[in-house]
A and B are shown apart, each in its own frame.
Chain A
Amino acid sequence: MKKVCENWENLFPADHVGLSIFEEFQNRASAASAEVIRVKTPSDALAAIKNLIESIQAKKIVAVNCPLQQSANLYDEFQRMGLTLYTDNAQIAEHAESADIGISGVEFGIAETGSVCQDAYSIESRLVSTLPPIHIAVLNSNNILPGIKEAFDVISQVFQHGYISFITGPSRTADIERVLTIGVHGPSRLIIIAIDQATAGGAA
Chain B
Amino acid sequence: MDENNRNIRQEIDQKLNDDVLRGALGRFAEAYPISRAKAYENVESIEELRDWVQQMKAATVERIEEIADQFVHEATRRGANVFRAANGEELKEYLLKLCKEKEVKRIVKSKSMASEEIHLNQALESAGLHVKETDLGEWIIALAGQRPSHMVMPAIHLNREQVAGYFSKELGQTIEPDIPFMVQVARQNLRQEFLQADMGISGANFGIAENGAIGLVTNEGNGRLATTLPRIHVAIIGYEKLIPTIKDAVPILRSLPRSATAQLMTSYMTMICGPTPAMVKKDDKWVEEEKELHIILLDNGRLKAAKDEKFKQIYQCVRCASCLNVCPVYTLVGGHVYGHIYAGGIGAILTAFLHSMGDFEKINELCIGCRKCTTVCPGRIDIPGLIEELRAQAVKEHGLPFAVRAMFDNVIANRKVFHTLLRLASICQKPLQSGRFIRHLPLFFAGLTKDRSLPAVADTPLRDQIKRITRNIPQPVKRIAFFSGCSTDFVFPETGEAVYKVLQNLNMEVIFPEDQSCCGKPMLGMGEREASKKVAKQNIQAFEAVNADIILSACPTCAETWQGTFVEILSDEPEWKARAEKLASKVREFTSFVAEEYEKAGRLTASTISGSKVTYHDSCHMKRGLQIYEQPRELLKATPGIDFVEMKDCDKCCGMAGAFGVKYAALSRPILKQKITNIKDTGAEVVAVACPACMMQLRGGLDKQLPTVKVKHVAEILAEQLNE
Contact = CB atoms under 8 A, between A and B. Distances in A.
Contacts of A114: 264-265
Contacts of B28: 178
A54 interface: no
Contact of A185 (B153, B158, B194): B194
A166 B265 contact: yes
B246 A112 contact: no
B267 A172 contact: yes
Contact of B267 (A153, A155, A186): A186
Interface string B658-694: 0000000000000000000000000000000000000
B487 interface: no
Nearest to A161: B274
Contacts of A110: 265
Contacts of B245: 156
A165 to B, nearest CB: 5
A153 B249 CA distance: 11
Interface string A155-178: 110011111111111111111111
Interface string B184-221: 10110011001100000000000000010100000111
B246 A156 contact: yes
A148 B186 contact: no
Contact of B183 (A28, A131, A173, A187): A173
Contact of A168 (B154, B265, B271, B285): B265
A15 interface: no
A177 B277 CA distance: 37
Interface stretch (B132-140, B303-311, B439-447, B544-552): B132-140
Contacts of A179: 179
B299 to A, nearest CB: 27
Nearest to B138: A175
B163 A173 contact: no
Nearest to B228: A126
A79 to B, nearest CB: 23
Contacts of B191: 97, 185
A71 interface: no
B190 A149 contact: no
B225 to A, nearest CB: 6
B59 interface: no
Contact of B279 (A90, A147, A149, A187): A90
B721 to A, nearest CB: 48
B155 interface: yes
Contacts of B183: 173, 176, 181, 183-184
B253 interface: yes
A79 B266 CA distance: 36
A65 interface: no
B271 A161 contact: no
Interface in B368-418: none
Contacts of A168: 263-269
Interface string B120-151: 00000000000000111100100000000000
Contacts of A28: 264
B247 A186 contact: no
B706 to A, nearest CB: 32
B211 A160 contact: yes
Contacts of B261: 174
Nearest to A92: B279
A125 B689 CA distance: 61
B222 A184 contact: yes
Contacts of A94: 286
Interface string B220-246: 111011011000000000000000011
Interface in B607-639: none
B141 to A, nearest CB: 9
Given A165-B269, A171-B219, A174-B153, A185 B286 contact: no
A166 B180 CA distance: 25
A97 B249 CA distance: 32
Given A153-B247, A159-B271, A89 B286 contact: yes
Interface stretch (A43-51, A99-107, A115-123, A193-201): A115-123
A128 to B, nearest CB: 11
B288 interface: yes
Nearest to B42: A112
Contacts of A147: 254
A123 B279 contact: yes
B279 A130 contact: no
Contacts of B219: 171-174, 184
A5 interface: no
A176 B279 contact: no
A32 interface: yes
A187 B268 CA distance: 11
A123 B222 CA distance: 16
A170 B268 CA distance: 9
B197 to A, nearest CB: 13
A131 B279 CA distance: 14
Nearest to A168: B265
B160 interface: yes
B162 to A, nearest CB: 10
Contacts of A131: 225
Interface in B170-184: 179-180, 182-184
B221 A115 contact: no
A115 B153 CA distance: 23
A53 interface: no
Contacts of B227: 163
Given A155-B246, A165-B268, A177-B24, A2 B273 contact: no
B225 A186 contact: yes
Residue in A89, A131, A155, A176 with the greatest tally of chain B CB atoms within 10 Å: A176
8 contacts: A90-B287, A115-B269, A156-B245, A160-B211, A162-B274, A168-B268, A177-B159, A183-B187
Given A120-B270, A156-B245, 20 more contacts: A32-B264, A90-B285, A93-B279, A114-B264, A123-B288, A130-B225, A149-B254, A161-B78, A163-B270, A167-B267, A168-B263, A169-B267, A177-B24, A178-B153, A179-B179, A184-B186, A184-B221, A185-B187, A186-B220, A186-B267
Interface of A: 2, 28, 31-32, 89-90, 93-94, 97, 110, 112-115, 120-123, 126-127, 130-131, 147-149, 152-153, 155-156, 159-179, 181, 183-187
* Top 10 A-B residue pairs of the complex, sorted by shortest distance between their CB atoms: A186-B221, A175-B137, A93-B279, A113-B265, A184-B220, A166-B269, A171-B221, A90-B286, A185-B221, A156-B246
